[in-house]
Protein backbone atom coordinates (compact mmCIF):
# COMPACT_ATOMS: atom_id res chain seq x y z
CA UNK A 1 0.00 0.00 0.00
CA UNK A 2 1.27 3.46 -0.62
CA UNK A 3 0.68 6.48 1.54
CA UNK A 4 -0.34 9.75 -0.03
CA UNK A 5 0.81 13.14 1.13
CA UNK A 6 -2.77 13.83 2.17
CA UNK A 7 -2.82 10.74 4.36
CA UNK A 8 0.41 11.82 5.97
CA UNK A 9 -1.21 15.15 6.85
CA UNK A 10 -4.21 13.34 8.30
CA UNK A 11 -2.05 11.03 10.41
CA UNK A 12 -0.02 14.02 11.59
CA UNK A 13 -3.18 15.61 12.98
CA UNK A 14 -4.21 12.30 14.54
CA UNK A 15 -0.79 12.07 16.20
CA UNK A 16 -0.88 15.78 17.07
CA UNK A 17 2.23 16.63 15.09
CA UNK A 18 2.79 19.49 12.69
CA UNK A 19 5.00 18.89 9.69
CA UNK A 20 6.50 21.62 7.57
CA UNK A 21 6.19 21.18 3.80
CA UNK A 22 9.67 19.74 3.57
CA UNK A 23 9.15 17.46 6.50
CA UNK A 24 5.86 16.20 5.11
CA UNK A 25 7.45 15.47 1.77
CA UNK A 26 10.34 13.60 3.33
CA UNK A 27 8.02 11.80 5.73
CA UNK A 28 5.80 10.67 2.86
CA UNK A 29 8.80 9.23 1.03
CA UNK A 30 10.29 7.53 4.05
CA UNK A 31 7.01 6.09 5.28
CA UNK A 32 6.38 4.71 1.82
CA UNK A 33 9.80 3.03 1.85
CA UNK A 34 9.12 1.47 5.21
CA UNK A 35 5.55 0.47 4.45
CA UNK A 36 6.50 -1.16 1.17
CA UNK A 37 9.11 -3.18 3.06
CA UNK A 38 6.62 -4.08 5.77
CA UNK A 39 4.12 -5.11 3.11
CA UNK A 40 6.05 -8.36 2.73
CA UNK A 41 4.11 -9.56 5.77
CA UNK A 42 1.20 -10.10 3.42
CA UNK A 43 3.11 -13.08 1.96
CA UNK A 44 2.89 -14.96 5.25
CA UNK A 45 0.04 -17.41 5.59
CA UNK A 46 -1.53 -16.55 8.94
CA UNK A 47 -4.86 -18.31 8.54
CA UNK A 48 -6.08 -19.53 11.89
CA UNK A 49 -3.11 -18.05 13.78
CA UNK A 50 -3.97 -16.40 17.09
CA UNK A 51 -2.54 -12.87 17.33
CA UNK A 52 0.15 -12.51 20.00
CA UNK A 53 -0.06 -9.14 21.73
CA UNK A 54 2.20 -10.02 24.67
CA UNK A 55 5.70 -11.45 24.60
CA UNK A 56 4.96 -13.78 27.50
CA UNK A 57 1.31 -14.63 27.89
CA UNK A 58 0.18 -14.45 31.50
CA UNK A 59 -3.35 -14.04 32.82
CA UNK A 60 -5.17 -12.61 35.82
CA UNK A 61 -2.61 -10.25 37.25
CA UNK A 62 -4.75 -8.44 39.81
CA UNK A 63 -4.15 -6.46 42.93
CA UNK A 64 -6.27 -6.22 46.07
CA UNK A 65 -8.49 -3.15 46.39
CA UNK A 66 -6.36 -1.25 48.88
CA UNK A 67 -5.75 2.46 49.11
CA UNK A 68 -2.12 3.52 48.92
CA UNK A 69 -0.61 6.93 49.55
CA UNK A 70 -1.00 9.44 46.78
CA UNK A 71 1.66 11.93 45.78
CA UNK A 72 1.70 15.24 47.62
CA UNK A 73 0.10 17.75 45.29
CA UNK A 74 3.26 19.76 44.84
CA UNK A 75 5.18 16.72 43.59
CA UNK A 76 2.34 15.77 41.29
CA UNK A 77 2.41 19.25 39.77
CA UNK A 78 6.17 19.80 39.98
CA UNK A 79 6.83 18.81 36.38
CA UNK A 80 3.86 20.67 34.91
CA UNK A 81 4.83 23.30 32.33
CA UNK A 82 2.10 25.51 33.79
CA UNK A 83 0.06 25.08 36.94
CA UNK A 84 -1.83 27.17 39.47
CA UNK A 85 -0.65 25.38 42.57
CA UNK A 86 -3.97 23.56 42.61
CA UNK A 87 -4.04 22.12 39.12
CA UNK A 88 -2.55 21.85 35.67
CA UNK A 89 -3.26 24.78 33.37
CA UNK A 90 -3.86 24.27 29.68
CA UNK A 91 -5.17 26.54 26.94
CA UNK A 92 -8.94 26.89 27.24
CA UNK A 93 -10.93 23.86 26.22
CA UNK A 94 -13.46 25.72 24.14
CA UNK A 95 -15.95 24.88 21.48
CA UNK A 96 -16.20 21.21 22.46
Partner 1 sequence: MYTTVIGLEVHVQLATKSKLFCGCSTAYGAEPNTQTCPVCIGMPGSLPVMNEEAVALAIETGLALNLQIAKFTKWDRKQYFYPDLPKGYQISQYDLPITHDGWLEIEDPKGAFEPKKIRILRAHLEEDAGKSLHDESAGKGDTLIDLNRTGTPLLEIVSEPDLRSSAEAKAYLTELRLLLTYLGVSDCNMQEGSLRVDANVNLHIPSDAAANDDNAQDGKIATPIVEIKNMNSFRAVERAIDYEADRQYREWKETGRRLGQSPKQTRGWDDAAGVTRAQRSKEESSDYRYFPDPDLAPVVISAEVVAKVRERLIELPADLRKRLVADYGLSLYDADVIVNQGRPTVDYYLTVADGSGDAKSSANWLTQDVLRTLKNRELAIEEFSIPAERLSNFVKKIGAGELPSARGREVFELMADDGLEVDAAMDKLGIAQVDDSEIESLCQELLDANPKVVADVQGGKQQAIGALIGQAKKKNPNIDPGKFRATCLALIAKG
Partner 2 sequence: MTLVEQSAADLLKQLAAGELTSRELTQAYLDQIEQHDARVGAFLRVNAEAALKQADTIDRRRGAGEQIGVLGGLPVAVKDLLCQTGEPTTCASRMLEDFRPPYDSTVVAKLKAADAVLLGRTNMDEFAMGGSTENSAFQPTRNPWDLERSPGGSSGGAAACVAAGMAPLSIGTDTGGSIRQPSAFCGVVGMKPTYGRVSRYGLVAFASSLDQAGPISGTVADTALLLQAIAGHDPRDSTSLNAPTPDYTADVDKPLEGLRLGVVKEHFGEGLDPEVDSAVRAAIAAYEAQGAKIVELSLPHSRFAVATYYVIAPCEASSNLARYDGAHYGRRTEERAMLASLQAERKAAQEAGDADALDNIDTALVRMYRQSRSEAIGPEVKRRIMLGAYALSAGYYDAYYLKALKVRRLIRQDFDQAFEKVDMIVGPTTAGPANKLGEFADDPLGMYLLDLYTVSANLAGLPAMSLPCGATKSGMPIGLQLHAPPLEESRLLRAARMFEQSGVWKSKRCAL
Q: Binding residues for partner 1, per CB under 8 A? A: 10, 13-14, 16, 53-54, 58-71, 73, 76-77, 79, 82, 84, 86-93, 95-96
Distances (CA, A) of 11 to 1, 27, 33, 71: 15, 11, 17, 36
Rounded to 10 deg, the angle between the 21-38 and 5-14 helix axes is 100
Among 2, 5, 13, 73, binds partner 2 (CB under 8 A): 13
Q: Would you count residue 86 as binding partner 2 (CB under 8 A)?
A: no
Closest distance to partner 2 from the beta carbon of 57 (Å): 9
Amino acid sequence: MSISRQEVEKVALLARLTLSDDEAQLMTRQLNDIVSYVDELSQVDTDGVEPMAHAIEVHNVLRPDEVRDSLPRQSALANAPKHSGAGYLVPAVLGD
